[in-house]
Structure 1
């Protein structure tokens, strides 16, 4: 017979699956919602209010100095079960009173929690039918956010929904990090309790959730759990990922996420002093994008560039504490970049030990981009003496990855065995791993786009999409060179 706990988990998952399926079916009927990029935000902010109300009721019982962040009649419990609020009356209440209150627009009843105001300042009810909206709210009332089983199961279901919106977002140029890549980066960062951990491009919160799961079993007291939650920090520029991130973290048990909505490049260059530094940065910054001139002008002249990934790397170098460490996803173009890129890589190798570069296979971010990506691991402990490269390869018989055949966790197993633990002990060169001394990197003008010496690159047998991706990367590099040339010329004017 199955264990009682497993039976309960299956029952809870089946029940909540049915609730979420019904909720999504209801939203599909509404003329105001078009696709998952409309439906998921609608579901998320309503789920947020449902979950937040449960947290508030729990806080009221546990905290002597409790003060409501949302006051009546705007609490979920006040209006979501009110039989008189249905149809047009419900829609008008949400549009005309609830959302303006949450955005802080009603002066006589402004909410006290700044996070709520920040979250809801760009939120709108997109459902046109008050009757369908009422049906949706009744479905969400079936989720018991006072039950740890329901919260755990909802977190699992929400993650599966997030995968769908990540797929949809990819069409808009946002490439979310595959979970196996996140798990590997977190695992090989060897996190410890008490360390401040930042993702300055946190998206829907994947790195923060994985860091929480890596450390929460070690937090064996209420104080340690609260400290862990405060130590997980994020910055997100766009309103939709910010909303999804907050909901994701709340469902994973973080009552008050330390996540702010801002342009990380602006925020990080505005902060100074030891208190603003962090121990660990885990991130996949936007790449292939461009920042407006006012952002790049915040950086020193010699490293000003519109390439977002370059600017993130500079900001991270300033953000890390002495002894801090970073794991970051970067495209090939950043590795071989010239102009401002050379100066940035020179600074990286001078100030930090760039001990490992993991070269990912083709198509890890497929189908949205075929641009090859890399994982850079470095520590702010002094200059690099040598850099190890490790090439991860797809399973036998495959050239790369696709949406239907994505990367799996086990494809990092050999790299983890080779890594040598936290001290990176007993590393050896093999057909997938090789090391390059700093003298060779300096001689090669800090080019980090180094191919595996064990491979014989035969252009005639490389797939067309891979060759096309390399051409795109080369075009980006030409643009980077031209930008660097412009900066150099300006310095001599």
Structure 2
């Protein structure tokens, strides 16, 4: 793939590999298995478009193979129409709607197809190995994507968020900004050992739902879920904000796990679908508002938000007020600066809330940097172990026995209300310690304060414009 002139870097190579892997896995895991178990099984892909019909054929020259893929295979797959929401033909057409074969050399394409054909998705060893390799490639892909302004959730963060959401079999779980599927894969890994029957396994696969706006992450997420044992990923290729605003009560879910895009601006046609007084172009706040309506009564959410969202006024403050009136915002975990490095140094927070009634008090827990560390880097990222003290403090599913301490403190909801719903509340157990801070840290703090002032002025201007 590195030799082909049509592929420029990992952002081209991984999608190319993914759709080939997807077709091979779909053929073995869905089509061939279905035919073996049911004599009346109707293939989702008809001859001659099944992987088994064309990929192993050595009489296809490189140029013939490339012409078949470009002119026949991809147009056929993207044009499939299913008879229902769960019809695999709908999944195939959504996956291949924006797929293109970028390889220019038919000879190299033939070689790549031959390599993929040697992988056996009916072998547990091959699947395990391929899932591990794919996750490694995805990490490289995420590093490359970060350079273009797309940030993905580090695995220790989504593992912690899933763990502290205390998932149960039978619950519907949604990531409305699913990217490459990290939260959904982690949720599946967290629940699969509880499965005892084939019916429970099918239900679990159907309960894991994702929405992704961009075609490339959608393809990668589909392949990621398929490799981890979910044969028919319940993913939707659409604008999640539009989708959630137009959803019905029957589509509400028990759990939302997500890291919505922030810092972007949503198009006006989407913004206008939100109620007056809650309209803003800041994507993160629109996601929070939509999530509140998407949760069932008693449902719960874990969401990543940047510091700027915590202290935002204007529309942001009104959405925080709505959140705290409708839900119990029981915990905010403050992450160290640089968790999302090298993509961004913006400090982030994890908000956990339940749609069980108004907030009475909110606990804050600050995750410190490891001793001796001044930040994170691509080669030295955050580790799962750094969350262990917070997990011990959490108090289990019922959050029992919580106590304040050097990293934890509680704030009554009434105090937050009086402060204009400012959730950017510093750790009261930590002094300024200016004399112990380096010049670099002081400059970083000044930059942060200037950024906060700019954010407040922007919110003020937005609030005045909405009046």
Once the two structures are TM-superposed, the CA of residue 479 in structure 1 deviates from its matched residue by: 2.0
Cα-to-partner distance string for 1:329-363 (whole Å, 9 max, x where unaligned): 00011111100111111111111000000000010
Of the three residues 245, 256, 260, the one matched with 2:236 is 260
Once the two structures are TM-superposed, the CA of residue 289 in structure 1 deviates from its matched residue by: 0.8
Cα-to-partner distance string for 1:236-288 (whole Å, 9 max, x where unaligned): 00001000000000000000001101110000000122x11100000000011
Residue 275 (structure 2) aligns with = 300
SS in 2 for 1:363: coil
Aligned pair 1:63/2:63, yes or no? no
Residue 25 (structure 2) aligns with = 51
- Indicate if the aligned counterparts of 2:88 and 2:232 stay in contact, CA closer than 8 A: no
Aligned pair 1:34/2:8, yes or no? yes
Residue 458 (structure 2) aligns with = 479
Cα-to-partner distance string for 1:27-82 (whole Å, 9 max, x where unaligned): 00000000000000000001101111102101111135421111111111111111
Whole-Å Cα distance in 2 between the matches of residues 468 and 47 of structure 1?
46
Whole-Å Cα distance in 2 between the matches of residues 236 and 328 of structure 1?
16
- Indicate if the aligned counterparts of 2:338 and 2:375 stay in contact, CA closer than 8 A: yes
- Indicate if the aligned counterparts of 2:80 and 2:93 stay in contact, CA closer than 8 A: no
Whole-Å Cα distance in 2 between the matches of residues 140 and 473 of structure 1?
50
- Indicate if the aligned counterparts of 2:264 and 2:283 stay in contact, CA closer than 8 A: yes
SS in 1 for 2:277: helix
Residue 251 (structure 1) aligns with = 227
Whole-Å Cα distance in 2 between the matches of residues 92 and 207 of structure 1?
38
Cα-to-partner distance string for 1:293-339 (whole Å, 9 max, x where unaligned): 11111101101000000000000000000000000000011111100
**The 10-residue stretch of structure 1 (144-153 or 427-436) with the greater mean CA deviation from structure 2:** 144-153
- Indicate if the aligned counterparts of 2:257 and 2:303 stay in contact, CA closer than 8 A: yes
Residue 84 (structure 2) aligns with = none
Once the two structures are TM-superposed, the CA of residue 480 in structure 1 deviates from its matched residue by: 2.7
Change (3 A) 1:363 1:467: farther
Matches within 5 A, 1:342-353: 342-353=317-328
Residue 48 (structure 2) aligns with = 73
Residue 206 (structure 1) aligns with = 182
Matches within 5 A, 1:174-253: 174-253=150-229
Once the two structures are TM-superposed, the CA of residue 469 in structure 1 deviates from its matched residue by: 4.3
Residue 6 (structure 1) aligns with = none
Change (3 A) 1:78 1:473: farther
Once the two structures are TM-superposed, the CA of residue 481 in structure 1 deviates from its matched residue by: 2.6
Once the two structures are TM-superposed, the CA of residue 105 in structure 1 deviates from its matched residue by: 7.9
Whole-Å Cα distance in 2 between the matches of residues 347 and 451 of structure 1?
23
Whole-Å Cα distance in 2 between the matches of residues 309 and 191 of structure 1?
24
SS in 2 for 1:301: coil
Whole-Å Cα distance in 2 between the matches of residues 85 and 249 of structure 1?
31
Whole-Å Cα distance in 2 between the matches of residues 453 and 254 of structure 1?
46
- Indicate if the aligned counterparts of 1:362 and 1:400 stay in contact, CA closer than 8 A: yes
Once the two structures are TM-superposed, the CA of residue 104 in structure 1 deviates from its matched residue by: 1.0
Change (3 A) 1:404 1:474: farther
Residue 443 (structure 2) aligns with = 464
Change (3 A) 1:463 1:138: farther
Change (3 A) 1:67 1:126: same
- Indicate if the aligned counterparts of 2:177 and 2:259 stay in contact, CA closer than 8 A: yes
SS in 2 for 1:422: coil
Matches within 5 A, 1:390-469: 390-458=365-433, 461=437, 462-465=441-444, 467-469=446-448
- Indicate if the aligned counterparts of 1:203 and 1:242 stay in contact, CA closer than 8 A: yes
Change (3 A) 1:188 1:92: same
| Unpaired stretches in structure 1, ≥5 consecutive residues | 1-26, 489-493
- Indicate if the aligned counterparts of 1:269 and 1:315 stay in contact, CA closer than 8 A: yes
Of the three residues 98, 111, 120, the one matched with 1:122 is 98
Once the two structures are TM-superposed, the CA of residue 119 in structure 1 deviates from its matched residue by: 1.0
Residue 288 (structure 1) aligns with = 263
Whole-Å Cα distance in 2 between the matches of residues 240 and 339 of structure 1?
34
Once the two structures are TM-superposed, the CA of residue 368 in structure 1 deviates from its matched residue by: 1.1
Residue 341 (structure 2) aligns with = 366
- Indicate if the aligned counterparts of 1:363 and 1:401 stay in contact, CA closer than 8 A: yes
| Unpaired stretches in structure 2, ≥5 consecutive residues | 82-86
Residue 7 (structure 1) aligns with = none
Whole-Å Cα distance in 2 between the matches of residues 474 and 47 of structure 1?
49
Once the two structures are TM-superposed, the CA of residue 391 in structure 1 deviates from its matched residue by: 0.3
Of the three residues 95, 99, 113, the one matched with 2:89 is 113
Once the two structures are TM-superposed, the CA of residue 87 in structure 1 deviates from its matched residue by: 1.5
- Indicate if the aligned counterparts of 1:281 and 1:326 stay in contact, CA closer than 8 A: yes
SS in 2 for 1:423: coil
Once the two structures are TM-superposed, the CA of residue 484 in structure 1 deviates from its matched residue by: 2.2
TM-score, structure 2 normalization: 0.95
RMSD: 1.5
Once the two structures are TM-superposed, the CA of residue 439 in structure 1 deviates from its matched residue by: 1.3
Once the two structures are TM-superposed, the CA of residue 467 in structure 1 deviates from its matched residue by: 4.0
